[in-house]
């Protein structure tokens, strides 16, 4: 193992451990939760759009594993070191809507267990000028045992004409969760089977979630976010990427594992974008 790869593995394990510890402090027990990078992007999207619609002031959720955030603006506008200041400056520069973009495919799902591999970013739609993108980069501070997050803005080259619309694809995700739950049972991964079943029941409205990434969101957005958070088991050691591929191969189900895992990732991220981007959409 190279030194660089070893550092990446160490960083993501620390990242996962810090996030799980924070969740346990809030909920009093260990729960599966949304990737920390995605959680921070979702917070920016939801709370920026809330403020832009004048529903409430901009106030992203503080994360106690994040030491600081830095925002570097495009067009020589300098930088700032708080989310509130970022929002204030962005509004002055014409921002009227924010959207979260997450790739629905991954060339290598095992990389999803490493930091900075989500490939997600924010799109800032601005009046009288084209949209820009805001891309995060996380770096771990071993001494302080926390994360520095830098958001860098750049102009969006392949910009759309208008703010895109996203569709509710929860029915498709329910079907995938049914299939992948059965596969998990077949390879004797009862824990993962239970997670997939729980996510499906939350999505169907049959079960109340133990954990909600963003409580108080209106229906169906809060329920969808809770379900996709529960279903997102892609990670490093101990995740759906770890032992299940080999176990599926042993019983001749490797193709099913890959097909369903790809479909699960697509369903999670498509519905995540629908919920986050549609909840407080500009009207």
- Using 50, 70 and 90 to split pLDDT, how confident is the model at 161? low
Per residue in 96-138, pLDDT (tens digit) is 999 999 999 988 887 787 788 889 999 999 988 889 999 999 9
pLDDT at 5 over 70: no
Are residues 13 and 21 in contact, defined by beta-carbon separation less than 8 angstroms?
no
**pLDDT tens digits, 65-77:** 899 999 999 987 8
**What is the percent of the chain where pLDDT is above 90?**
64
Three-class secondary structure of residue 236 per DSSP: coil
Q: For 202-257, how does the pLDDT look when each residue is reduced to its tens digit (9 = 90+)?
A: 999 999 888 788 878 899 999 999 999 999 999 888 899 999 999 999 999 999 99
Q: What is the mean pLDDT of the chain?
A: 85
Asked if residue 60 has pLDDT above 80, the reply is no
Distance separating alpha carbons of residues 75 and 93, to the nearest angstrom: 11
Beta-strand ranges (E) seen in the chain are 66-72, 79-80, 95-101, 121-126, 132-141, 146-155
Residue 18 confidence (pLDDT) above 60: no
Q: Which residues contact 253 (CB under 8 A, 6 or more apart)?
A: 183, 186, 187
- Does residue 92 or residue 5 have the better pLDDT? 92
């Amino acid at each position: 193992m190279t030194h660089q790869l070893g550092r990446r593995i160490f960083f993501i394990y620390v990242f996962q451990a810090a996030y799980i510890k924070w969740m346990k402090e809030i909920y009093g027990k260990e729960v599966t939760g949304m990737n920390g990078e995605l959680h921070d992007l979702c917070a920016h999207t939801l709370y920026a759009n809330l403020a832009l619609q004048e529903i409430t002031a901009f106030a992203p959720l503080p994360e106690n594993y994040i030491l600081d955030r830095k925002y570097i603006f495009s067009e020589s506008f300098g930088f700032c070191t708080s989310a509130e200041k970022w929002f204030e400056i962005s509004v002055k520069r014409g921002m009227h809507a924010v959207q979260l973009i997450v790739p629905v495919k991954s060339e290598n799902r095992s990389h999803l267990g490493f930091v900075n591999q989500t490939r997600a970013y924010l799109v800032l739609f601005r009046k009288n000028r084209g949209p820009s993108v805001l891309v995060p980069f996380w770096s771990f501070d071993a001494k302080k045992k926390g994360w520095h997050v830098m958001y860098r803005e750049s102009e969006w080259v392949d910009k759309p004409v208008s703010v895109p619309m996203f569709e509710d694809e929860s029915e498709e995700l329910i079907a995938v969760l049914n299939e992948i739950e059965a596969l998990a049972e077949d390879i004797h991964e009862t824990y993962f089977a239970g997670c997939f079943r729980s996510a499906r029941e939350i999505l169907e409205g049959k079960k109340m979630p133990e954990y909600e990434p963003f409580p108080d969101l209106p229906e169906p957005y809060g329920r969808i976010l809770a379900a996709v958070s529960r279903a997102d088991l892609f990670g490093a050691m101990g995740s759906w990427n770890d032992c299940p591929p080999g176990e599926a191969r042993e019983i001749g189900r490797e193709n099913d594992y890959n097909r369903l895992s790809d479909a699960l990732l697509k369903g999670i991220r498509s519905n995540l974008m629908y919920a986050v981007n549609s909840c407080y959409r500009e009207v």
